[in-house]
């Protein structure tokens, strides 16, 4: 049987005519050695062989085919069962989804309602509180209490939930009006209290600004205003245009910047600035430093900052001044230093200490000039060889050194620096004297 099966297959595979139908690579042309009738007949024979072979294999493997068909039936039944289970699973899942979704949606809806109720109650409470504070504001005459109420009203008005509410908008207009009145009252009281050095009035005004929550901006503005006034006062004092420096120079004419009148004018303006303008401003600001007794620490800090800014402003204005003014300040540095020290002493405030860095450049120039004033007469004594200084020359040199020392007595550091210059001058004098000294021969004793 197997041999017949093999022969049938080989017969089809080896036949040249059938090979053209078995080739899968390309379309093969039908052979032209046979007529169409013969080709049809040949195909019929091949089909007959295939039918016989199929029938034979079905008969041989009948049981296997039945078994496969039975398995397919069982598989279909299992698939149908699984499909039913899957459908049941989907149905159960849908029921479970419904059991979860419906309560969740209800809970979400109730939560939204509750949130809106809370928001409505919050708005009502805030509006009620705002109206109560507004009424209290109308009936209160104490500006300090008004400032406290206004601060709380400001916090309530900042609530975004209260926007676009007509009642709140109307109340806010009245609140802004009262707030402006309180601010104007506190500003006037603060300025008057500082000018009159009234601690109670000043502290009350500052307490109003603290209660309003605007103390930092108010004090910053106050400090800036005072610094501006000090800067303008120094600018006026160091301004050569107001001292008559516009005269034309020429042969036989004296430049006013080096004249005594110019110097007197400059020092008159500087004295006025330090003894009147700057002193009054610093004194007014120093009044606020006593507010630390009332627990206003911020005012104390800002006051100390202001006093430090005074020195910085002074240094900047000196640097911006003309060369003629700077020369005048360098030549009469002790006089300028005296004004600074008198200002600090008159204020009687421990935190307001003089900063030497402000006048460091001017001090160095003055010390250099002072040393030159002492060295020049000391060197002139020894211009000629083997010169011996006379008593008059020595007295003149001593007077120069004494004058420099007496001028420097106004400040300890300056006195120390001038003393070092005097020591340098004396040392140079001794070196010169020793280098020019020649021993005089004396007669031998018998």
Average pLDDT score over residue span 125-133: 87
- For 398-418, how does the pLDDT look when each residue is reduced to its tens digit (9 = 90+)? 898 898 888 888 888 888 998
Q: Are 269 and 336 in contact (CB under 8 A)?
A: no
The answer, yes or no, to whether residue 29 has pLDDT greater than 80, is: no
Residues 6+ apart with CB under 8 A from 374: 397, 400, 401, 404, 421, 422, 425
Q: How far is CA 115 from the centre of its chain?
A: 39
My answer on whether 56 and 168 are in the same domain is: no
Residue 310: what pLDDT? 81
165 assigned to some structural domain: yes
Q: Which domain holds residue 13?
A: 2-60
Average pLDDT score over residue span 196-220: 83
Mean pLDDT of all residues in the chain? 79
Q: Are 283 and 343 in contact (CB under 8 A)?
A: no
Residue 80: what pLDDT? 92
Rounded Cα gap, residues 199 and 187, in angstroms: 15
Q: Are 223 and 156 in contact (CB under 8 A)?
A: no
Of the three residues 332, 354, 376, the one that is the final residue of a domain is: 354
101 assigned to some structural domain: no
98 assigned to some structural domain: no
Residue 173: what pLDDT? 85
Rounded Cα gap, residues 31 and 60, in angstroms: 36
The answer, yes or no, to whether residue 364 has pLDDT greater than 80, is: yes
CA nearest to 284, candidates 359, 360, 236, 227: 227
My answer on whether 272 and 396 are in the same domain is: no
The answer, yes or no, to whether residue 429 has pLDDT greater than 70, is: yes
75 assigned to some structural domain: no
Provide the number of structural domains found in the chain. 4
Residue 253: what pLDDT? 43
What percent of the chain stands above pLDDT 90?
Answer: 10
Rounded Cα gap, residues 287 and 22, in angstroms: 118
Rounded Cα gap, residues 154 and 160, in angstroms: 12
CA nearest to 340, candidates 422, 402, 413, 244: 413
Residues 6+ apart with CB under 8 A from 142: none
335 assigned to some structural domain: yes
The string of DSSP letters for 250-267 reads -TT---GGGSHHHHHHHH
Of the three residues 60, 81, 100, the one that is the final residue of a domain is: 60
The answer, yes or no, to whether residue 254 has pLDDT greater than 70, is: no
Q: How far is CA 39 from the centre of its chain?
A: 101
CA nearest to 347, candidates 420, 259, 275, 445: 275
- For 265-280, how does the pLDDT look when each residue is reduced to its tens digit (9 = 90+)? 888 888 888 888 888 8
- For 85-117, how does the pLDDT look when each residue is reduced to its tens digit (9 = 90+)? 999 999 999 999 999 999 999 999 999 999 999
In this prediction, residue 242 has a pLDDT band, given cuts at 50, 70 and 90, of: low
Q: Are 206 and 300 in contact (CB under 8 A)?
A: no
């Amino acid at each position: 049987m197997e041999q017949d099966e093999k022969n049938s297959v080989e017969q089809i595979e080896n036949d040249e005519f059938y090979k053209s139908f078995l080739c899968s690579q390309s379309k093969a042309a039908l052979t032209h050695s046979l007529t169409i009738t013969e080709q049809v007949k040949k195909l019929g024979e091949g089909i007959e062989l295939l039918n016989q072979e199929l029938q034979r294999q079905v008969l041989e493997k009948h049981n296997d085919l039945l078994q496969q068909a039975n398995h397919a039936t069982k598989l279909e039944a299992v698939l149908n069962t699984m499909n039913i289970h899957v459908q049941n699973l989907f149905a159960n899942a849908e029921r479970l989804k419904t059991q979860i979704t419906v309560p969740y949606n209800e809970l979400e809806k109730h939560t939204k309602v509750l949130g809106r109720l809370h928001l409505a109650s919050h708005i009502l409470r805030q509006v009620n509180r705002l109206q109560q504070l507004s009424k209290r504001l109308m009936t209160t005459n104490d500006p300090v209490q008004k400032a406290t109420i206004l601060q709380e009203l400001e916090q309530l008005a900042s609530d975004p939930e209260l926007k676009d509410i007509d009642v709140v908008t109307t109340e806010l207009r009245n609140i802004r009006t009262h707030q402006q009145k309180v601010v104007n009252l506190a500003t006037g009281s603060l300025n008057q209290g500082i000018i009159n050095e009234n601690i109670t009035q000043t502290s009350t005004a500052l307490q109003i600004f603290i209660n309003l929550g605007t103390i930092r901006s108010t004090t910053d503005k106050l400090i800036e205003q005072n610094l501006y006034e000090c800067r303008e006062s120094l600018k006026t004092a160091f301004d050569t245009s107001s001292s008559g420096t516009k005269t034309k120079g020429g042969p036989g004419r004296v430049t006013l910047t080096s004249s005594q009148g110019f110097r007197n004018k400059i020092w008159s303006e500087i004295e006025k600035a330090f003894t009147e303008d700057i002193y009054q401003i610093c004194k007014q600001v120093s009044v606020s430093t006593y507010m630390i007794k009332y627990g206003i620490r911020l005012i104390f800090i800002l006051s100390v900052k202001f006093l430090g800014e005074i020195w910085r402003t002074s240094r900047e204005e000196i640097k911006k001044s003309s060369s003629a003014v700077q020369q005048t300040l360098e030549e009469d540095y002790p006089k300028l230093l005296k004004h600074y020290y008198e200002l600090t002493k008159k204020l009687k405030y421990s935190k307001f200490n003089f900063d030497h860095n402000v006048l460091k450049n001017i001090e160095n120039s003055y010390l250099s000039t002072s040393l030159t004033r002492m060295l020049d007469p000391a060197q002139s004594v020894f211009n000629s060889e083997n010169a011996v200084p006379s008593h008059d020359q020595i007295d003149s040199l001593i007077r120069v050194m004494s004058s420099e020392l007496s001028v420097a007595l106004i400040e300890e550091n300056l006195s120390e620096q001038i003393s070092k210059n005097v020591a340098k001058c004396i040392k140079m004098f001794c070196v010169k004297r020793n280098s020019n000294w020649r021993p005089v021969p004396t007669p031998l004793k018998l």
